[in-house]
Structure 1
């Protein structure tokens, strides 16, 4: 079992993002509506790169930004059509209210690499100086 004050899993995350950068869907994930009611979340894929909200907004294509202007999910198409008009978006204006950037501060990271059959569990705790201290353990996949 090793320990480090820096987050040793970050390099694995960055490597995974870079190795899969050719896959467009790999850069995004969506957390379900339950997150509003529960402060805990599990991200299944290593596909997270945190940036400032506005920087992330402008990094998205205009087509991607338009998705945040889309009608409410699971509302009848006929009901929605009678209440709204076609949305328009000024490309120079910052993020709309529906665009949210979450900053995740994990307590535990479970890294599984199916290609190498390797699994590492990273767990954080507080060191004597009050800084976050990470420990890692190799476990069976």
Structure 2
């Protein structure tokens, strides 16, 4: 499963560079690879669970996790592909909220994904929102906007 993306260089977006820096700074903590994934379950109820970061899809910004195809999250994503992850790094006090369309990678073709990244650094009291200049256009540049924390 992967969320969001742009085919380009290894660090093609500014939010990915921030995320990679947070991963590197917190690598000594085993729990730094865990994040929460929220999906929409049957009846429109939110479903949230902890998953493990398995890397980025090659040559893009899509975040990968592995899961059993029989799990509830797969049927939820296939029925309603919008989701959000929340990732908090305890040593650096950084939080990433990434929302967008989730792809189930199972051999079928992938559709372009819409993605929004909300970055918060609690130590410096800084918050940035990253969006594509043209939503849905994977070739468009990322725009960062400072937001009041």
TM-score (norm. length: structure 1): 0.47
- Higher percent of residues as strand: 2
- Higher percent of residues as helix: 1
TM-score (norm. length: structure 2): 0.45
Q: Which one has more relative contact order, counting CA pairs under 8 Å at least 6 apart?
A: 1
